[in-house]
Amino acid sequence: MVLLGELVMILDLHRQGLSVSAIARRTGRDPKTIRKYIERGLEPPAYGPRQPGRPSKLAPYLDYLRERITAFPDLSAVRLTRELRERGYTGAYTAVKRFAAAIRPPEAKPYEVRFETPAGQQAQVDFARFLVTFTDAPDTTCIVWLFSLVLGHSRHIEARFVLHQDLQTLLRCHMQAFTAIGGVPIEILYDRMKTAVTGEDADGHIVYNRSLLALAQHYGFLPRACRPYRAKTKGKVERPFSYIRQDFFLARSFRDLDDLNRQLRSWLDTVANVRLHGTTQRIVSEAFAAERPELQPLPALPFDALLTLERRVSHDGLVSIGGNYYSVPDRTRRVVEVHQLPDTIRILDGGRLVASHPILEGRRQYRIDPDHRQGTAARAMRHGHPDSLPIGRHGDHVARRSLAVYQAVGERLAGGIGGQR
């Protein structure tokens, strides 16, 4: 095949008066080929169909790929290649990528300005909404929220699924993320989520939630909000949401929220945070190892900012907080003071601490401390008595007895009644 540049050279030599034989010697081409291209001029050459060669390594998996992309159009080519390799595929990733693009044409996107930050300088935080049906409750589809913190320099991801995006959850997720990465960035970028930004003052300055400011002061970071309608400035955390949805979340099943987070943790450790990042062209884990020493150290004392509430104790000794129920000791007064920390519930009776519980995820969950209950049921709860059964929603216990016991009790009662007549 003669390339365009060589064709132009042949025609130029011919215009200079060189013979076909001289051009052939100079280019190393056959004279018939030279004559053919001189006669054709700059008309683009026509090629016949490619002759069949070796069978494609991807051919046995095309039906599988069509089925997967039809069911889940947003599955990434990286994820599809990994699935094929588990089924014996030995070909190239690019072949899978080309085939996926052919049946799922990418949408044209505008160019974006990329902002890079020094190591330890910035992290970006946001929530994303996911719909999931847990196998433990197959008839119910629920909303879960993905909290994600992405370090701007290394692109290291810390993420966790939660059932709410309220203030206490936001604070708790920050604390867990800081502990996981072993430090704190200088600044954290937010969009205008209501739990972080409450509005603007008369001069147009951002007003942050007071509890978030207390958290920032304790850990030593500066909160920053995106400009209105400019969420693209937070693309380092927005893009990972799509990546997590396509490469992790789709086409998986999860037993419950704990199982969802266990699988997410495994995927972060074995896939997301050890990959070659497409933008930085660095291994994320290696870049994070270099960035980690640049993070600010964790504070020596825990964050203890709290929200104070007043709650009534129910007739069965429970206090409702955030849609969940926590036990208090028997004989606690009917009205108590609740101190809600990011990760702990403390209940005070007359200024005296009477109960402390870790915060429950979700709604209509119960946390019963066996030490809060007196009597036989409490002893069975404390000692795990094998002859006890939970009844009701709160974990009360009754003894398990044979039918012969009830028969004997019935006969004795019947005899007593007969003797009174």
Strand order in the sheet with 344-349: 307-312, 335-340, 344-349, 352-358
The predicted structure's pLDDT at residue 391: 36
Q: Is the pLDDT of residue 395 over 50?
A: no
Residues 6+ apart with CB under 8 A from 215: 171, 174, 175, 303, 305, 342
CA distance 324 to 169: 14
CB 229 within 8 A of CB 184: no
The predicted structure's pLDDT at residue 27: 80
Q: How confident is the model at residue 85 (pLDDT cuts 50, 70, 90)?
A: very high
Q: Is the pLDDT of residue 387 over 50?
A: no
Taking residues 175-198, what's their average pLDDT? 92
Q: How confident is the model at residue 390 (pLDDT cuts 50, 70, 90)?
A: very low
CB 312 within 8 A of CB 338: no
- On average, the pLDDT of the chain sits at 83
The predicted structure's pLDDT at residue 52: 58
Instruction: Name the CA dihedral angle for 405, 409, 415, 420, rounded to a multiple of 10 degrees.
Output: 170
102 vs 85, which has greater pLDDT? Answer: 85
The beta strand positions in 253-330, using DSSP E, are: 307-312, 318-321, 324-327
Among 25-29, 242-246, 264-268, 281-285, the least confident range: 25-29
Give percent of the chain with pLDDT exceeding 90. 48
CA distance 314 to 347: 14
Among 63-67, 136-140, 392-396, the least confident range: 392-396
* Predicted confidence (pLDDT) per residue in 45-63, tens digit: 555 555 555 668 899 999 9
CB 392 within 8 A of CB 385: no
Residues comprising the chain, all counted: 421
Give the architecture (CATH level 2) of 122-294.
Answer: 2-Layer Sandwich (3.30)
* Predicted confidence (pLDDT) per residue in 329-355, tens digit: 988 999 999 988 878 899 999 889 999
The predicted structure's pLDDT at residue 113: 57
Angle formed at CA 123 by CA 122 and CA 126, multiple of 5 degrees: 145
Taking residues 221-245, what's their average pLDDT? 72
CA distance 91 to 36: 39
* Predicted confidence (pLDDT) per residue in 270-296, tens digit: 999 999 998 889 999 999 999 999 999
CA distance 114 to 249: 26
* Predicted confidence (pLDDT) per residue in 216-226, tens digit: 999 999 999 88
Neighbours of 23 (CB within 10 A): 23
**Residue 100 CA: distances (Å) to CA of 75, 97, 314:** 9, 5, 58
* DSSP class per residue in 280-299: T-SBHHHHHHHHGGGSBPPP
Query: 210 by DSSP, 3-state: which?
Result: helix
CA 10 to chain centre: 60
43 vs 93, which has greater pLDDT? Answer: 93
The predicted structure's pLDDT at residue 267: 98
Give this prediction's pTM: 0.64
CA distance 336 to 347: 7
Q: How confident is the model at residue 181 (pLDDT cuts 50, 70, 90)?
A: very high
